[in-house]
Amino acid sequence: MSYFITGTDTGVGKTLVSCALLHAFAARGKCVAGFKPVAAGCGEDEHNDDAVALRAASGVPITYGQVNPYCFRHAIAPHLAARHSGVRIELARILISYRELSAQTDEVIVEGVGGFLVPLNDKQNTADLARELDLPVILVVGMRLGCINHALLTLKAIADNQLECVGWVANVLDEQMPALQENIESLCEFIPAPLLGIVPHLGVPDAQQVAGYLDLNLLECDATNE
């Protein structure tokens, strides 16, 4: 079973959780790989830090291009980054890359770009990509003021695209967030999917450490119930 990882916004910890999931599944003997179809923001080597991290956390030898077929220099909305580069992001190309990667592995962790509805080209957005991949969705909620509204809006978008959110992760971005535990409890009431784990605020986030905060049994229970 592969998964599509989305978040309530950009910068909420999608890459950290995606890499943690790769480590957690690998610890269970799974052959796994990370996939970042679109990345905006790269260095002189034309590599994106998030995609590099996913490649490093993967359990199979794969090239950077297999992990990240579309990489753009500017850290802006992907459709704008693509336009600046004279490129159009094509979902068909992404699907081919995903299928090639999934043929080599037991599971692929697909990390989206930005939020769930961020545009990829003039007609399609990340939700369209998730729908084409037809994967269960894991939602990363950045725990800070406004997170409940952002989470519920994202959940509605997931449901509106006939996809299922099979779990969510609370990533504590603001360690001084008022009523943190109450917010998490409220989200547990509102989100019809299991809380896979709470990632505390970490000075230096480490994906292997974060893997220990995730309960993959809850995903397996969900698959069994289906």
Structure-block tokens of residue 75: 């850290």
Q: Give the helix/strand (H/E) hosting 7.
A: strand 3-7
113: Cα separation from own chain's centroid: 8
Q: DSSP 3-state assignment of 166?
A: strand
Alpha helix segments (H runs only) across 34-134: 49-57, 64-67, 78-84, 91-102, 126-133
Return d(Cα 53, Cα 165) in angstroms, integer: 24
Q: Is 36 a catalytic residue?
A: yes
What backbone phi and psi angles, to 5 degrees, belong to 141? -100, 115
Catalytic pick among 14, 36, 123, 156: 36
- DSSP label of 98: H
Active site residues: 36
